[in-house]
């Protein structure tokens, strides 16, 4: 799976959009971009994923550049509860032999949302 690079930390004012970048310059054509987050002392939580097109759900939007070498996770109106470590993960769509998939977490971005 392709390696990802994320800034170690970011700050955001509450109510503003939080834009979290991720570089994945070695991504292959069959690899998806996934975003998870981990609030302190909790298990990771799935946010969104995409292959080529931009994606939006109730939590966030995912913008993938045309060359797919980078992406941005957008939290449109960040709240204090969005303070967490955000992980960008790139992985192939195929399953492991026998089923299941493998997530390789990088070091992530610690997002701090402040008043």
Partner 1 sequence: DTEVTQTPKHLVMGMTNKKSLKCEQHMGHRAMYWYKQKAKKPPELMFVYSYEKLSINESVPSRFSPECPNSSLLNLHLHALQPEDSALYLCASSQAQGQETQYFGPGTRLLVL
Of the pair 43, 67, the CB lying nearest partner 1 is at: 43
Residue 37 tokens read as: 């987050």
* Residue 79 binds to partner 1 (criterion: CB under 8 A): no
How many CB atoms neighbour CB 80 within 10 A? 10
How many CB atoms neighbour CB 111 within 10 A? 21
- Per CB under 8 A, the segment of 15-23, 36-44, 53-61, 75-83 that binds partner 1 is 36-44
Query: What is the arrangement of strands in the sheet containing 109-114, beginning at the earlier edge strand?
Result: 9-13, 109-114, 84-92, 31-38, 45-50
Closest to 36 in 3D by CA, of 90, 99, 93: 90
Of the pair 3, 16, the CB lying nearest partner 1 is at: 3
Q: How far is the CB of 36 from partner 1 (least distance, A)?
A: 8
* Residue 97 binds to partner 1 (criterion: CB under 8 A): yes
Query: Total binding residues for partner 1 by CB under 8 A?
Result: 26
Of the pair 14, 112, the CB lying nearest partner 1 is at: 112
Residue 54 tokens read as: 């931009």
Distance of CA 70 to the CA centre of its chain: 11
Q: How far is the CB of 111 from partner 1 (least distance, A)?
A: 15
Provide the binding-site residues for partner 1, judged by CB under 8 A. 32, 34, 38, 41-46, 49, 87, 93, 95-108
């Amino acid at each position: 799976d392709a390696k990802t690079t994320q800034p170690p930390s970011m700050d955001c004012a509450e109510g503003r959009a939080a834009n979290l970048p991720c570089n994945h310059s070695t991504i292959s054509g069959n690899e998806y971009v996934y975003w998870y987050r981990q609030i302190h002392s909790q298990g990771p939580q799935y946010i969104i994923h995409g292959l080529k097109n931009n994606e939006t759900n109730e939590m966030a939007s995912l913008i993938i550049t045309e060359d797919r070498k980078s992406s941005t996770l957008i939290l449109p109106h960040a709240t204090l509860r969005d303070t967490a470590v955000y992980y960008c993960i790139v992985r192939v769509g195929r399953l492991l032999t026998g089923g299941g998939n493998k997530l390789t977490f990088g070091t992530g971005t610690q997002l701090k949302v402040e008043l």
